[in-house]
Amino acid sequence: MTSATLHAHADARPDGLARVEDRRLLTGRGHYVHDVRRAGMLHAVFVRSVHPSAALREVDTAAAEACAGVVAVLDATQLAGLAMPAPNALLPGVHAPTFTLLPSDRVDAVGQPIAVVLATSLAAAQDAAEQVFVDCEALPARPDLPQGAKPAVTVRHQTGDRAAADRAAVHRVNLAHQQPRVVSMSLEPRATVAEWDEAAGMLTVWLPSQSPARARNDVARTLGLPAGRVRVIAPDVGGSFGAKASVCPEDLIVAFAAHHLKTSVKWVSSRSEEFTSAAQGRGAQLQGALWLDATGRFVHLQANLRFPLGAWLPFSAVAPVRNAARILPGPYRVASIDIDASATQSNTAAVNIYRGAGRPEAALLMERLVEMAARQSGIDVVDLRLRNLIAADAMPYATPTGECFDAGDYRAALQRACARFNYAGERADQARRRAAGEVVGIGIAMYVEPCGVGWESARVTLQADGRVLVASGSAAQGQGHETSYAVIAAEVLGVDPAQVAVAHGDTATCPDGIGALASRSMAIGGSAVAQAARLALQRRDAGEPLPIVADAIYTAPAEAWSYGCVIARMAIDADTGQPAIERLVWVDDAGRIISPQLAEGQLLGGLAQGLGQAMLERIVYDAEGQLITGSLMDYAVPRADNMPPVELESLVVASDVNLLGAKGVGEAGCIGVPAALLNAAADALLPRGEKDLDFPLTAERLWRAMQASS
């Protein structure tokens, strides 16, 4: 079981608050999309492709339409070429072919919807779906990262004097690492309920979305409705992790069906559908090289990053490749860089942002190179990092990729982590254990975490009875915004947080916002709440009668960057290869922490997912593009007994680029933990030679690495 402590900043308010919303969820009284029931509601079941790539010859729905309880069967004929929204133009020149909601001439992935059956019961819809006849002619499938394929997007960063770096370099290390794809594995699978109110001319969609306002706009645009005629409600959400940040084809098809048939329609994804058709994460191919001079200074970084995209591009599809390229070389000074990154489509499930979204890839590549460089140069891994980490007095720091680190003390994070870990003592104990025949390693990883840019909205209402209502444009999927936003508003207004109620996730009652993604909720969403509360307080102090409604749109002048250091000790059974994470020390700087308990929960949740990626999880497609790991019988996820003893510590350097001094915290565990675990495994096997290790670090993979050295 996990043992964790969190040392919070003195200014951070301890929140032993038992919010009404939190108690409701913990006592089983949550209300999720799965719980939505509407009178006369139809149930949707999708007929999906069994081919990764095929010409679509015929879709015969007659037998299904004749089944008891069936109201309609829709295919491409009825949807008339309706297509997915264009992806976010985070990078110029994105080449994204149109992807129709239901195909008319070809299918591009296993699990792609071909038709949808709508019936009066779920069982009737499931039975009828079996009667839909689909005639396909299989075509060759494009695998992930196909050689010679034209990328959908490319990005290049090239700065510094490469010739000078070549002259100065005396050491060079190279790394190639293939990341497996992973699934988000939310407790709540995808689900959509849509209801058309003919009298009001209004479409209401219940959707577990991280960005309800954008989802509303996507639905309205797809159906040709004014945005004011569409309402999106994101009720309680059982986890998202980026996978629910963008609408998927099924969401829009259900909305179309409700509007087309003038009724209400419900679709709930099965776990099997989540494996085959939900957006996945990771899957990048990372290659890099690091040059050092005679003093151990980093003089050049070369990186080649290849990201998969799958059959279609969700809204945030290009964020991982953009982030990985711009984050390198992380918290280090490097004299020159040459970073080439691209993302390419294939006949597989789509790839979207997944907790970290490019940040873990950048940290893993850089931290593996640093560890390898330390060994080649004969410099201790801690000392080498200290020589090259950006100094605190250099902040704000302009990075070679054009970013700006706002505030931080990276060396202090490393030194505090080493002190807490007792680094020198642990190294001595490692030597003793190795001499006794044990296989044990220590891995370190530094990381940085950009926390989003742009704007967010909030509305604060001071009611006549003394209560305060906060409505946020930033939705929540379990992070506890109800608690944190109440604390922020209460501090500004000088009231008890128990007087503050927080609403979010409903486009009819909340202001439009960007949503909860990119670790931006506290830094930008929280600042919007603070700004709206300040406006309300000013108007109250000026004598304005209650109720007072104050709206604010807060735009961050720059991006806040959190950071940290993870140190892990791992033992590997010499006979079986079974790994055991014996200890993990973690120092993180999330700026000012509003709610220490919630911050701890976010760190530990990210740690669990980072551990899952590093040790257990892997999506596998065969050579023909068929999914091999399509159930929890084949795909392993972390359990409570996989969690190691954890010691957390908060190093607080407040940001000056938002009103709260806050930085992101939600993705840190997925960024720093995998790199530290990979370094620990490589260090454990080091007496057997430098090993190229890919995730997941299973017992079989580690055993084979040990046998190869034998």
Phi, psi of 17 (to 5 degrees): -75, 130
Amino acid at 698: T
Reading the block at residue 643, the tokens are 């969690």
Residues 154, 20: Cα–Cα separation, whole Å = 47
Contact present, 249 and 30 (Cβ < 8 Å)? no
Which residue from 156, 180, 152, 157 is spatially nearest to 88, judged by alpha carbons? 152
Which residue from 326, 666, 345 is spatially nearest to 484, judged by alpha carbons? 666
Coil, helix or strand for 260? helix
pLDDT of residue 9: 30
Contact present, 111 and 45 (Cβ < 8 Å)? no
Coil, helix or strand for 585? strand
The CATH number of domain 454-556 is 3.40.470.10: no
Measured torsion, CA atoms of residues 665, 666, 672, 678, in degrees rounded to the nearest 10? 160
Amino acid at 136: C
- How far is CA 325 from each of CA 161, 298, 352, rounded to the nearest angstrom? 19, 18, 16
Residues 193, 83: Cα–Cα separation, whole Å = 20
Which CATH number does 36-140+201-237+244-267 carry? 3.90.1170.50
Phi, psi of 275 (to 5 degrees): -70, -40
Q: 């919807």: which residue's tokens?
A: 113
Handedness of CA 92, 97, 100, 101 (dihedral sign): negative
Contact present, 331 and 651 (Cβ < 8 Å)? no
Reading the block at residue 310, the tokens are 């799958």
Coil, helix or strand for 382? helix
- Using only C-alpha atoms, the chain has a radius of gyration, in whole angstroms, of 26
Reading the block at residue 411, the tokens are 């060396």
Contact present, 247 and 215 (Cβ < 8 Å)? yes
Q: Nearest 5°: CA angle at 142, between 140 and 145?
A: 160
Residues 532, 188: Cα–Cα separation, whole Å = 32
Reading the block at residue 581, the tokens are 């994470």
Which CATH number does 280-451+559-709 carry? 3.30.365.10
Amino acid at 332: Y
CA atoms within 13 A of residue 325's CA, in its CB half-sphere: 25
Coil, helix or strand for 134? strand
- How far is CA 275 from each of CA 250, 420, 601, 628, rounded to the nearest angstrom? 14, 40, 26, 10
CA atoms within 13 A of residue 264's CA, in its CB half-sphere: 15
**Averaged pLDDT in 10-residue chunks for the chain of 710 residues:** 30 39 67 93 98 96 97 96 91 88 96 98 98 96 88 95 93 96 93 97 96 96 96 91 92 98 97 95 97 97 97 95 97 98 95 95 98 96 98 97 96 98 98 97 97 92 96 88 93 96 94 88 94 97 95 96 97 97 97 91 94 97 92 94 94 93 93 98 93 94 87
In this chain, the answer to whether the domains covering 280-451+559-709 and 454-556 adopt an identical fold is yes
Residues 443, 432: Cα–Cα separation, whole Å = 17
Which residue from 179, 176, 411 is spatially nearest to 283, judged by alpha carbons? 179
pLDDT of residue 23: 61
Contact present, 297 and 374 (Cβ < 8 Å)? no
Reading the block at residue 345, the tokens are 């489509």
pTM, full prediction: 0.93
Residues 616, 697: Cα–Cα separation, whole Å = 7
The counts of H helices and E strands in the chain are: 18, 27
DSSP states of 63-128 as a string? HHHTSTTEEEEE-HHHHTT-BPPPPP-SSTT------BSS-SSEE-STT-EEEEEEESSHHHHHHH
Domain spans, the chain: 36-140+201-237+244-267, 280-451+559-709, 454-556
